[in-house]
Amino acid sequence: MDLEFNVQGGDFVRAGNASSQIKKVLKQLNADSAIIKRVVVALYEAEVNIAAHAYDGVIRANIDTERIRLLLDDNGPGIPDIERAMTPGYSTASSAVREMGFGAGMGLPNIRANADEFVITSEVGKGTHLEITVYLNQ
């Protein structure tokens, strides 16, 4: 099953839509609740990152009997230092984003912690690409 979602930068009202829809699908497929939680946490964090840091982005989800694979591509400023961005508590979020309760610097670390496989690439001035895989049968 393939699903696709668009995320608009700055739209915190709809950020979380993809993770909610994926959660519903996984429940219908009788996926383990602990697996669903990991997928939803990772995807929600990624969605919020697009809303907080990019102009827009696309989330593609592929679900089969063994795994869910999430591919996220955004059009944004990119990440100049991925290693630093992976440090818990490090954030480049604007003060406006922080005032809304986002931008604590835990997004990427939470994604990595909840994924079985996690790949991030970024090009400054172009955007960021995430690949998140969670195995459904563990």
Q: What confidence tens digit (pLDDT) does each residue in 27-65 have?
A: 999 999 999 999 999 999 999 999 989 999 999 999 998
Burial classification of residue 64, based on how many CB atoms lie within 10 Å of its CB (0-12 exposed, 13-18 middle, 19 or more buried): exposed
The domains found in the chain, sorted by start residue, are 2-135 (3.30.565.10)
User: What are 106-121's pLDDT values in tens digits?
Assistant: 688 899 999 999 999 9
Token pair recorded at residue 88: 């818990």
